[in-house]
Structure 1
Amino acid sequence: MMRGRTFRGQSPDGTWHEGFLIRSPGVKNSRPGEGWYINSEQEPAYAHLVKPFTIGMNTTLTDGNGAPVFEGDILKDDRCGKDVIFAVRYGEYIDYGVGHIGFYAEFSENRKEFVEHGLASLVLTAKVVGNVVDTPELMGTSTGKEQQHEVD
């Protein structure tokens, strides 16, 4: 098992890879072969070029099925007879009036209000049902492709 913070990213062929994140030195110059790589001791070829907008950090939490939860995952839970859907994000958020930096839940459009909360208590019974790259429609978003155009 790997130690330290791991990441997940999708290669151009659509395959997801999990491991350590490596930035090639020439990534800002857009040279061929330069970019972000996931280095996995678990897979042959070891380092896989990944699309930057697909990279997500491991939260070190597991969902209700015991699956690892990554930044960008979409989870679903049944709370009081209603489906609650949220995406895992990393950054600044406010939880009960207090500012934090870390992993948080961004709730889907099926919630009346936009609310952000810390992640740990929410993933205990929730299940990973997709991610913001492959299944953005779960969050009420038409496509995740607009993220491709973000500048590093």
Structure 2
Amino acid sequence: MAGDVSAHFSDDGRAAVAAATAAARDGSAAEVTSEHLLAGVLRHADQELRELLTPFGLTADTARRRCLPGRPGDPVVDAPAFSKRVKEILRLANLTARQDDGRIGCAGIFVALMLRRDSAVMAYLRDKAEVDRLTSAARALTQR
């Protein structure tokens, strides 16, 4: 990640994006997808965010298992690009962080995933009430 871009991230946010990139690379994926991003966020989430997400089955292990590995014979990709969707999510996280006068952390990235109703997260939730409740609770974590 370029130095000027990484300055927008907190330590945990930077670690989450790096973990997402590593997961994509390890799976020989051509792109870092929202599934990789979610796995990175859950891997580096602080205790409060983990406690909020665990009852929904949103854990680092479950998210990592949902990251699809590359197919046999796929070329190894040393530096997978961010998918269009991941770029949108990170832009939204950046806008939200600016409104909160802070840097992008795991909670902020998670909120952006929720606001985009990303399928990587929606697969864990049962209904709109859960989506709204979890979005609101995660948003509160970004404002502390």
Higher strand proportion: 1
Q: Looking at CA atoms only, which structure, 1 or 2, has the larger radius of gyration?
A: 1
Normalising by structure 1, what TM-score? 0.30
Higher helix proportion: 2
Normalising by structure 2, what TM-score? 0.31
